[in-house]
Each structure stands twice: as structure tokens, then as C-alpha cells.
Structure 1
Amino acid sequence: MDAIALLKQDHKTVKALLTELADTTNRALKTRTELLQKIATEIRVHTTIEEEIFYPAFKAASDKADDGKMFFEALEEHRAAGDLVLPDLLDTDVQSDQFGGRAKVLKELVEHHADEEEKEMFPRARELMDKAQLQQLGERMAQRKAELG
């Protein structure tokens, strides 16, 4: 699987989990807890493989200032979701109203980030890298993903 297909599959998975979480009620203690752990793992693994493998390859292949802006914006979106909103959500009582609000904010951040990557960064990556490069990146990312579990 090439790098972009792998990342799009990750986006689909985490968006589905976030939608499922958003559809829960305050009474869904076990469901919310389990979904939140799955989401946290998916986000951690996904952002790690992007930051360690995909983004550096994208940046190295890029030749325009706009590519650099995309790169740094993507990193900041990871920081906002993974370092700020997700930890707050993990520390929030899953049966509280506050949990629902924070879950919605995380969902919106992730959806915005994934949509931007899929509409802007990934098409640009296909211009900058050939199929063999994207395939090799995908293999490295899949291996790293397996290591991170």
C-alpha cells in the first residue's frame, strides 16, 4: 500500500471512531472509555508515522514555499489535537457534559486536518514523489505502525 493510501485509511478509521464517540451519551461509560482509548492509540500512531516518515519525505521533496507552509501547519494541527485537546479529553470524566464538548472539538480538529491533507498535501505529494517512492514510504510507515502497535 502506498503512503497516501495508508494515511487515508487511518483518517477513515479515526473519523469513524470519533463519529461513534460523538454519538454516545453521558451514560455510555464503558463505550466511551473503550472508544477513547482506541482513538488515542490511533492518533498517537498516525501522527508518529506522519511526523517521522511522511512529513520529512514531503518536505525533502518539496520545492515551493507553500509546501513548507503546509508542512508546518500540519505539525501545528497535530500539536493542537494530540498535545492539547486529546490529553484534556483523556482527563475528563466520560460521563460529564464537558466530555461531549471536548470530544466534538477533537472530532472537528481531526476532520479539518484530514480534509486539508487529502485535498492539498496528498495531491502535492503525488506531484513531488513517484509511485515507487510512495510505495517505499508506505512500506516503511506500515512497518513503523506495527512497531507502535
Structure 2
Amino acid sequence: MDAIALLKQDHTLVKDLLEQLADSTSRAVKKRGELLQQIHVNLKAHTTIEEEIFYPAFKEAGKKEEEKMYYEALEEHRAAEDLVLPDLMKTDPATEQFSGRAKVLKELIEHHIEEEEQEMFKDAKKLLSKEELNELGARMETRKAELLAEFKAAA
């Protein structure tokens, strides 16, 4: 699978999980906890393969505009993973505060996905050959499998 197809597949999964979380009520404490854990694991694996493999290849192949996109994408990852998600994970799932933080995380990630898919991926298709995208995709699939196995072992 090429790199872009793999990342889009991850985007679909995470958006679906975030939608389920946003649609849950404060009474669905167990469900919220499970969804949050799935979001955390899938988001961490996704952002890691982007940051380790895809983004550097994109930045290397591009020019000034791609470098700008690269750094913006890293900051969006940092905002979601280091700021919003940890706060959400420490919040009582039975509260309205949880609902508010879940909504903010969902909006942040949806904005990031939209920018990646409409700008970065479009540029990547022009900058990287089909072979390069396939090679990146293979490396990313392998790394993602390693990460998911590590997360399962740690759980």
C-alpha cells in the first residue's frame, strides 16, 4: 500500500473513533474509556510513522512551502498529543468537561487531517514517484505493526 493510502486509512479510523467518542454521553463511562484508549494507541502509531518516515521524505523532496507544511504538521501533532489528549485522558469521563475536551481534540485532528489530505498529500504525489510512495508505505506499515505490538505488550 502506498504511503498516502495508508495514512488516509488511519485518518478514517481515527475520525470514526473520535466521532463515536463525541457521540457518547457522560453515562457511557466504560465506552468512553475504551474509545479513548483506542484513539490514543492509533494516534500515537500514526503520528510516529508520519514523523519518522513520511514527513522527512516529504520535506526532503520539497522546497520552502513543503518545509513550512512540515513544521506546521509537527506542531499540530504536538498540540493534539502532548497537550489536549493527555488532559482528556486525565479527565473524568462522566463529566461535561470530558465532552468539551473530546470535542476540541476531534476538531483539532479533523483540521489537521483536512490540511494533510488537501495540501500535503497533493504535493507529495507531485514530489514523490509512485515507487517512492510505495517504498515509504511498506516501511510505514512495518513500523506501524512494530508500534502496535509494543503498545499491546505495554498494556
Q: TM-score range by the shorter chain?
A: over 0.9
Matches within 5 A, 1:18-97: 18-62=18-62, 64-97=63-96
Instruction: Quote the Cα distance in structure 2 between the aligned partners of 1:114 and 1:41.
Output: 17
Instruction: Quote the Cα distance in structure 2 between the aligned partners of 1:85 and 1:110.
Output: 10
**Residues 15-53 of structure 1, C-alpha deviation per residue, up to 9 Å, x if partnerless?**
000000000000001100000000000110000000000
> Where does residue 2 of structure 1 map in the other structure?
2
Residues 64-73 or 2-11, more deviating:
64-73
How many residues are matched?
A: 148
**Residues 36-89 of structure 1, C-alpha deviation per residue, up to 9 Å, x if partnerless?**
000000110000000000000001111x21111100000000000010000000
Unpaired runs of 5+ in structure 2?
149-155
Instruction: Quote the Cα distance in structure 2 between the aligned partners of 1:135 and 1:99.
Output: 39
SS class of match (1:26) = coil
Instruction: Quote the Cα distance in structure 2 between the aligned partners of 1:129 and 1:118.
Output: 15
- Matched to 1:49, the amino acid is I
Deviation, structure 1 residue 112: 0.2
SS class of match (1:95) = coil
Instruction: Quote the Cα distance in structure 1 between the aligned partners of 2:64 and 2:132.
Output: 22
- Matched to 1:26, the amino acid is S
Tell me which stretches of 4 or more aligned residues in structure 1 moved more than 3 Å: none
- Matched to 1:12, the amino acid is T
- Matched to 2:66, the amino acid is D
Instruction: Quote the Cα distance in structure 1 between the aligned partners of 2:143 and 2:48.
Output: 9
> Where does residue 147 of structure 1 map in the other structure?
146
Identity of paired residues, percent? 66
SS class of match (2:31) = helix
State the TM-score, normalized to the length of structure 1.
0.98
